[in-house]
Amino acid sequence: MKNSCKIWPISESALIVSFEQTISETVHDQVLSLQKAILDDPFPGFTECVPAYASLTVFYDFFELKKKVKSVLPYLTAVLKEKSDELADHWVSNENRLIEIPVKYDGEDLEYVAESNGLSVKEVIKIHASGSYRVYMLGFLPGFAYLGGMDRRIATPRRINPRLAVDAGSVGIAGPQTGIYPMKSPGGWQIIGKTEVPLFDPENKTPVLLRVGDIIKFTKI
């Protein structure tokens, strides 16, 4: 695992640690493990980590960091490489929550997904509802979780012409990924169903329901 990650700055107050560029639970475990190591022992000026599929973006206060060290990037590079090497032979995943999401499978693109993959609508529903999905990253909209682990038998490309409005709670497919729209918005994913579970509520103390590392199970209603 040594030298398996690359590190480069993206601004004066952030850098990216990049691992093998693939959708993989093993690679994602590395991302989450490095995030945990930094959170457990933050460096001077550290403010936030943002995990993605195969990378970790690390944010820090440039001026606070400069008070402690003379050279910013070499210092951070050394810190991150040291943590990476320490964990190289025993990456461990964070404790993942299991969350069940009830879905009514009646989406307007359900038949298209079935036809595109040579399956019946019932087979698409059965395959999608029998899967176990990991939240790899949050983005696009507040609370929008990119879920990996979908059976490739139902993988379907995004719509050529995105819709101007997709309802909140819509469950969609885009390539080998699945996801849920947390609010009404434009979107190009193939819609196969809908859930009433609120994924984003700005009035709540914790406004976003899902977090990176969670395991999602869909249940047919």
Domain CATH number, residue 117: 2.40.100.10
Consecutive H or E run containing 166: strand 163-166
Total residue count of the chain as it appears in this document: 221
- Mean pLDDT in the chain? 90
Contact 38, 78 (CB under 8 A): no
Spacing of C-alpha 26 from chain mean position: 14
Q: Could you say which DSSP state residue 153 is in?
A: G
Statement to judge: residues 115 and 205 lie in one domain: yes
How far apart are the C-alpha atoms of 26 and 92, rounded to whole Å? 9
- Based on the structure, what is the number of domains in the chain? 2
Residue 67 has pLDDT above 90, yes or no: no
AA letter at 132: S
Q: Which domain holds residue 146?
A: 98-220
Contact 38, 47 (CB under 8 A): no
Residue 113 has pLDDT above 60, yes or no: yes
Of 67, 87, 107, the domain-final residue: 87
Statement to judge: residues 31 and 106 lie in one domain: no
AA letter at 23: I
Task: For residue 204, tell me if it sits in a domain.
Answer: yes
Statement to judge: residues 65 and 160 lie in one domain: no
Residue 211 has pLDDT above 80, yes or no: yes
Residue 76 has pLDDT above 90, yes or no: no
188 or 92: which leads in pLDDT: 188
| Three-class DSSP category at 129 | helix
60 or 95: which leads in pLDDT: 60
Joined together, the tokens standing for residue 221 give: 């209603």
Mean pLDDT of 189-207: 95
pLDDT digits (tens, 9 = 90+) for 116-161: 999 999 999 999 999 999 999 999 999 999 999 999 999 999 999 9
